[in-house]
């Protein structure tokens, strides 16, 4: 069966120039409190934007970052981006369906991020299973950052954001207009709400409570605040 994310990956990075996407990445990096010699895991890493921004921003630090995703083409794009990096550390990307459990030892990571991932799991039981695995592979006091679509996505709101992007980055964005259209097309099944599951702040807090994680804070992010970022400590 065709993986929709394989199709979407070809246009996904047209989003990466949007101010709201950049802000979201900034907020995740802040929440992760990156420190040298630490190990990080980005689940559903897509085209690698978060891991890439981390190694670029902390380019003199030795950091281990692993990204897992089950979309082959997303990882091809991610791996292409790291080819000519001159940073001290490079991310490691692996093709993997994270619903199968996480292929790492217990208490291995200092920080784990899940950015717009659980929203696309068809079964809630897989979300619960994955969160148990995140708990297992995270060290005590480790950081867990979840970004989830919390409210219905109205396409018109997304369009307003594109307009903002056009003002900020006229040339780059105009070049990307066909991509935005393609994005809207490929993303439609999800936008129509058939496949997407909303996990709001309360849902995420409940998951954290069950796993005895300490919630540090939450904030609205990305696309006119339809996403919520929650930071926990194990």
Ligand X SMILES: C[S@@+](CC[C@H](N)C(=O)[O-])C[C@H]1O[C@@H](n2cnc3c(N)ncnc32)[C@H](O)[C@@H]1O
Q: Judged by CB, which is closer to ligand X: 5, or 109?
A: 5
Give the nearest distance from C-beta 78 to ligand X in angstroms.
9
Q: Nearest 10 degrees: CA dihedral of 25, 52, 31, 120?
A: 60
Give the nearest distance from C-beta 172 to ligand X in angstroms.
18
Q: Judged by CB, which is closer to ligand X: 63, or 68?
A: 68
Return residues touching ligand X (CB under 6 A).
5, 44-46, 49, 68-71, 74, 97-99, 115-117, 120
Nearby residues of 211 by Cβ (< 8 Å), 6 or more positions away: 131, 132, 135, 234
Give the nearest distance from C-beta 21 to ligand X in angstroms.
8
Token output for 176 = 């990307």
Residue whose CB is nearest to ligand X in the complex, by number:
46
Nearby residues of 98 by Cβ (< 8 Å), 6 or more positions away: 43, 44, 68, 70, 117, 130, 133
Q: Judged by CB, which is closer to ligand X: 50, or 63?
A: 50
Number of residues in the chain: 234
Give the nearest distance from C-beta 98 to ligand X in angstroms.
4
Q: Judged by CB, which is closer to ligand X: 37, or 194?
A: 194
Q: Judged by CB, which is closer to ligand X: 36, or 123?
A: 123
Give the nearest distance from C-beta 120 to ligand X in angstroms.
5
Give the nearest distance from C-beta 61 to ligand X in angstroms.
22
- C-alpha span between 109 and 145 (Å, rounded): 13
Residue 118 exposure: Cα atoms within 13 Å on the Cβ side: 26
Are the beta carbons of 3 and 70 closer than 8 angstroms?
Answer: yes
| E-state strands within the chain | 39-43, 64-69, 92-95, 109-115, 138-149, 214-221, 227-233
Q: Judged by CB, which is closer to ligand X: 2, or 37?
A: 2
């Amino acid at each position: 069966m065709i993986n929709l994310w394989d199709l979407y990956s070809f246009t996904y990075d047209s989003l990466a120039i949007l101010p709201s996407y950049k802000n979201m990445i900034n907020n995740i990096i802040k929440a992760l409190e990156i420190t040298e010699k630490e190990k990080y895991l980005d689940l559903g890493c897509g085209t690698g934007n978060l891991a890439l921004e981390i190694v670029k921003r902390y380019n003199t630090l030795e950091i281990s970052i692993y990204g897992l995703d089950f979309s082959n083409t997303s990882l091809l794009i991610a791996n292409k981006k790291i080819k000519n990096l001159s940073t001290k550390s490079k991310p490691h990307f692996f093709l993997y369906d994270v619903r199968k459990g996480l292929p790492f030892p217990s208490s291995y990571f200092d920080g784990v991020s899940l950015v717009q991932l659980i929203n696309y799991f068809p079964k809630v039981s897989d979300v619960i299973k994955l969160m148990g695995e995140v708990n297992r592979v995270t060290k005590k006091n480790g950081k867990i950052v979840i970004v989830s679509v919390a409210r219905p996505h109205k396409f018109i709101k997304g369009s307003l954001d594109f307009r903002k992007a056009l003002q900020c980055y006229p040339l780059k964005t105009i070049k990307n207009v066909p991509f935005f259209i393609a994005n809207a097309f490929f993303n439609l099944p999800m936008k129509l709400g058939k496949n997407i599951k909303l996990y709001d702040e309360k849902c995420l807090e409940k998951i954290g409570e069950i796993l005895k994680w300490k919630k540090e804070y939450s904030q609205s992010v990305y696309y006119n605040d339809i996403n919520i970022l929650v930071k926990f400590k194990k």
